[in-house]
Amino acid sequence: MTHRLRWTNLVPFLAIGLLLLVLATGVGPWMALLCGLVLGAAVFAAVYHAEVVAHRVGEPFGTLILALAVTAIEAALILSMMVSGGPETATLARDAIYAAVMIICTGGVGLCLLLGGLAHHEQTFRVEGSGAGLAALIVMASLALVLPAFTTSTPGGTYSGHQLVFVAASAAALWAVFTFVQTVRHRDYFIPATNASDPEAHAEPPSKKTAWASFGFLLLSLVAVVGLAKMLSPSIEWAVGAANAPRAVVGIVIAAMVLMPETWAAIRAARADRLQTSMNLAIGSALACIGLTIPVVVLAAILLKLPLELGLPAKEMALLAVTFLVSSITLGTGRTYMMQGAVHLVLFAAYLFLAFFP
């Protein structure tokens, strides 16, 4: 544990130092590779320190802090690339948010259910909380990613200014109501049952001093991630173009990089027979991804006059609809086993395959 704390405390300072260096010297091929490695380490460090703070405040506030940290990183990455990329990045926010929802609802949930089912045969969670969260997610995704392809005020999968404000306000309101339900009104719907065999569930929470220190390291990591991502954005787009991959892959790269540590935390919880925590992480992250990222991106697009196209093509809409249908069945009983995980992972494989070979 001491070793883990040492590297997670060191990485934010290393990332800030590297950011200052590339601001002065520029980003060459080898420097881009180093920045990518340090950026990934900084994301892991940020989520680790968010976990420390989360352990201090307890559930369900812990998973809420993790979701907020991940969403802040994702929104910052999207905006930094949109500001520097020009009109060609008009669909970046759409691609990244869609990728995050698909990665969470198919890949993340699928791995949790499959590995948890293999280890414990059958697992349970409170359907009252997860079901309400999924309903809110379906509405948010439909308003933000589906309806723009059918509105007639503006062409080409875009919203008018008034429509953007309405969608951003609706997404933020739904997220706020869900957060109130999760942390105040019906908090018991999101608290996992105590598992005597799980040492992490009974570990002593960190002291206030440790929690505040981790909060500081978390903020430092977020600053480093945003800065390095902005410096790396031309290299990421060049690499995607050199591989002749669709531009939507840039959104997948952003979402995968940001969600990797949190997905690992959810998998650990599932294998420890704390599926409720896994579901809290999955549903909460997906809701925060839309409920917070969309308002931030919309505000930036209006103030900075950035092009913003949110409507998904037909193929992606079909995959999103199937994902929500399967998720409704999976989360409808509160009991899961490995078969449901396999179904989600097949959907995830189809999403990745069709993203690279549309």
- Give the pLDDT confidence of 174-189 residue by residue, as tens digits: 998 988 888 878 888 8
pLDDT at residue 157 in the model: 84
Q: Tell me which of 48-62, 134-148, 218-232 is least confident.
A: 48-62
Q: What angle do CA 346, 90, 47 make, to 5 degrees?
A: 55
Q: How many domains does the chain have?
A: 1
Res. 64: pLDDT tops 80: no
Please say whether the beta carbons of 66 and 51 come within 8 A: yes
Residue 203 has pLDDT above 60, yes or no: no
- Both tokens of 28, joined, read 């060459």
Cβ(147)–Cβ(196) under 8 Å? no
pLDDT per position as a tens digit, 127-139:
888 888 899 999 9
Listed as own residue / partner, the contacts of 86-92 with beta carbons closer than 8 Å and 24 or more positions apart are 87/307, 88/247, 89/307, 90/306, 90/307, 90/308, 90/309, 91/247, 91/248, 91/251, 91/309, 92/250, 92/251
Which residue(s) pair with 123 in the sheet?
A: 336
Long-range contacts of 167-171 (CB under 8 A, 24+ apart): 167/143, 167/294, 167/298, 167/310, 168/294, 168/295, 168/298, 168/299, 169/295, 170/140, 170/143, 171/140, 171/143, 171/144, 171/290, 171/291, 171/294, 171/295
Judged by average pLDDT, the poorest of 150-154, 235-239, 309-313 is 235-239
pLDDT at 284 over 80: yes
| CATH code of the domain covering residue 77 | 1.20.1420.30
- Tell me how far CA of residue 72 lies from CA of 19, 33, 67, 79, 120, in angstroms: 19, 24, 9, 11, 34
Reported as a single tens digit per residue, the pLDDT across 69-119 is 777 777 777 887 777 777 778 888 899 899 989 999 999 999 999 999 998
Question: 123: helix, coil or strand?
Answer: strand
- Residues forming beta bridges with residue 124, ordered by sequence position: 335
pLDDT of residue 31: 83
Residue 272: its pLDDT value, please? 87
Nearest to 102 by CA among 66, 145, 42, 136: 145
What's the pTM? 0.82
**Measured in Å, how far apart are the chain's first and last C-alpha atoms?**
45
Q: What is the mean pLDDT of residues 142-151?
A: 93
Token pair 């989520």 is found at 47
Rounded Cα gap, residues 257 and 271, in angstroms = 22
- Domain housing 67: 2-356
Phi, psi of 336 (to 5 degrees): -135, 160
